[in-house]
């Protein structure tokens, strides 16, 4: 069964992705040291040049309109609890769909996505 078809242990609606988890996520009485984050969003963006900043630990993929724009799905490339950051320059205009896949293997976890207009 695909991960996005399984019942999540925790679900929420948020207007931004800016998380830091110490020791995993809590859902009810359970603490999960290993977890996957799946996020989908849509935005109507004024025409212009933008910078998408992505910070993660342990692995992440980011899609824009169904096309992968960041593929960092090899956690072994980074040291324990390192939180890499990538900045991607984009020209955006109009409606866009964003999708994020994130995995945490153990220890500290973070996921932060920020979009900043450059011009």
**Facing residues of 81 across strands?**
none
pLDDT of residue 74: 85
* Count of domains observed in the chain: 1
Q: Would you report the helix, strand and coil content of the chain in percent, each value rounded to 5?
A: 5, 65, 30
The pLDDT of 84-94, averaged and rounded, is 96
- 37 assigned to some structural domain: yes
**Tally of CB atoms within 10 A around 66:** 7
Cα 88 from Cα 69, distance rounded (Å): 8
Cα 84 from Cα 68, distance rounded (Å): 18
Taken in order 54, 108, 36, 30, is the CA torsion positive or negative?
A: negative
pLDDT of residue 78: 66
Over pLDDT 70: what percentage of the chain? 92
- 1 assigned to some structural domain: no
pLDDT of residue 1: 55
- 5 assigned to some structural domain: no
Domain that holds residue 32: 16-117
- 29 assigned to some structural domain: yes
Predicted confidence (pLDDT) per residue in 45-86, tens digit: 999 999 999 999 989 999 999 999 999 998 777 666 568 899
Give the largest CA-CA distance in the chain. 47
């Amino acid at each position: 069964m695909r991960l996005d078809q399984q019942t999540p242990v925790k679900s929420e609606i948020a207007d931004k992705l800016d998380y830091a988890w110490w020791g995993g996520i809590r859902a009810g009485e359970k603490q999960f040291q290993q977890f996957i984050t799946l996020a989908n969003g849509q935005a109507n963006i004024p025409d212009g040049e933008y910078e998408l900043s992505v910070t993660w630990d342990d692995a992440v993929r980011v899609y824009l309109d169904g096309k992968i724009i960041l593929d960092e799905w090899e956690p072994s490339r980074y040291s324990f609890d390192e939180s890499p950051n990538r900045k991607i320059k984009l020209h955006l205009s109009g409606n866009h769909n964003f999708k994020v896949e994130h995995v945490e293997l153990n220890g500290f976890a973070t996921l932060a996505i920020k979009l900043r207009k450059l011009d």
